[in-house]
Amino acid sequence: MDKRSFTLSFLVDESPGNVFDAIINVRGWWTPNLVGNTRQLNDEFEVRFGDVHYSKQKLVEVVQDEKVVWLVTESKLSFVENKSEWVNTKIIFEIARRGSKTQFVFTHEGLEQDIECYDACSDAWSGYILGSLRNLIMTRKVQTSATNV
């Protein structure tokens, strides 16, 4: 993994299974504007945030209660010169037991500091991962912050 890729992590008092279930409930924490499936190996899904962001992801690794990896196969970011900056990047969710807690690590491999969307995209991921996904993990309730902007 490139050390410059964007990464976030946190610990929760939840089981790895609860964390895994929240991750694969993409509509519940990222956006309800999702078409496709988000739960099993080779599932594909598309998300749209108005005319600002479109992307298509394929689940290329799924290990129950441990790891989910999405490969971005299509992307159109309207706010940067290279509209397809996300294509061939990977979005990685890792889960591990740490004593009585569960550690969650998010990495957008390829979202590097030298690409144009880094600031906006890393800020957005921070809001979704540390906000709506973390809250979904802890409460098991879909968050209103998972919007259809």
In a domain, 148, yes or no: no
CA-angle at 4, arms to 67 and 117, nearest 5°: 95
* 3-class state of residue 138 by DSSP: helix
In a domain, 65, yes or no: yes
What's the number of domains the chain is made of? 1
Per-residue model confidence (pLDDT) at position 118:
94
Domain range for 46: 6-139
In a domain, 82, yes or no: yes
C-alpha 57/C-alpha 99 separation (Å) is 33
pLDDT digits (tens, 9 = 90+) for 9-63: 999 999 999 999 999 999 999 999 999 999 999 999 999 999 999 999 999 999 9
In a domain, 146, yes or no: no
Per-residue model confidence (pLDDT) at position 1:
46
Residue 29 near residue 147, CB atoms below 8 Å:
no
Q: Beta-carbon neighbour count of residue 105 at 10 Å?
A: 15
pLDDT digits (tens, 9 = 90+) for 53-78: 999 999 999 999 999 999 999 999 99
- How distant is the alpha carbon of residue 6 from its chain centre? 11
In a domain, 1, yes or no: no
Q: Check residues 42 and 2 and name the one with the higher pLDDT.
A: 42
Amino acid identity of 81? E
In a domain, 145, yes or no: no
**Residue 51: which CATH number?**
3.30.530.20
Amino acid identity of 58? K
Phi-psi region of 72 (alpha: psi -120 to 50; beta: other; left: phi over 0): beta
